[in-house]
């Protein structure tokens, strides 16, 4: 299963998402903002980042942009999980390498399908 980093300032959402994804066999780490997310990515290897847009200190777009500056992170998969629905925001997401845009509240079955598409099961 996938090693996933959840980056969101809402602790309750991180807890719920962790619980839901661990039931699916995924290994979960957490960060409360973009700075914490980048630090965790520097120290660990992840298959997928699930990130909010609106966070204090460093938002999701800035984190993704900074992440992509390092060629070693070029293939790292990123999903935005957010309340933002503006098409301009989605375009900005694509520009910084976001693979999927998922609306809050998430539908677990759909999220698990999206994860399985970008993080195939390891033998």
Q: Average pLDDT per run of 10 along the chain, which is 123 residues long?
A: 96 97 95 97 96 96 96 94 93 95 94 92 61
Q: Is the pTM of this model over 0.75?
A: yes
Q: 113 exposed, middle or buried (CB, 10 Å; 0-12, 13-18, 19+)?
A: exposed
Q: Which CATH superfamily is domain 3-106 in?
A: Response regulator (3.40.50.2300)
H helices present in the chain, as ranges: 11-23, 34-43, 60-68, 87-95, 108-118
The number of CA neighbours under 13 Å toward the Cβ of 25 is: 9
| Residue 44: predicted pLDDT | 96
CA atoms of 41 and 21, how far apart (whole Å): 19
CA atoms of 109 and 90, how far apart (whole Å): 22
| Residue 1: predicted pLDDT | 87
| Residue 110: predicted pLDDT | 93
Q: Which two tokens stand for residue 21?
A: 């994804």
| Residue 122: predicted pLDDT | 63
CA atoms of 77 and 89, how far apart (whole Å): 18
């Amino acid at each position: 299963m996938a090693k996933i980093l959840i980056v969101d300032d809402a602790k309750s959402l991180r807890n719920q998402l962790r619980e839901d994804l661990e039931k699916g066999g995924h290994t979960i780490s957490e960060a409360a903002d973009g700075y914490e997310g980048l630090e965790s990515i520097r120290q660990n290897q992840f298959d997928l980042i699930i990130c909010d847009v609106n966070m204090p200190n460093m938002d999701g777009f800035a984190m993704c942009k900074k992440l992509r500056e390092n060629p070693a992170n070029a293939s790292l998969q990123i999903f935005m999980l957010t309340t933002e629905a503006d098409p301009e925001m989605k375009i900005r997401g694509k520009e910084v390498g976001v693979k999927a845009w998922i609306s809050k509240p998430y539908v677990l079955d759909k999220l698990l399908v999206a994860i399985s598409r970008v993080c195939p099961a390891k033998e």
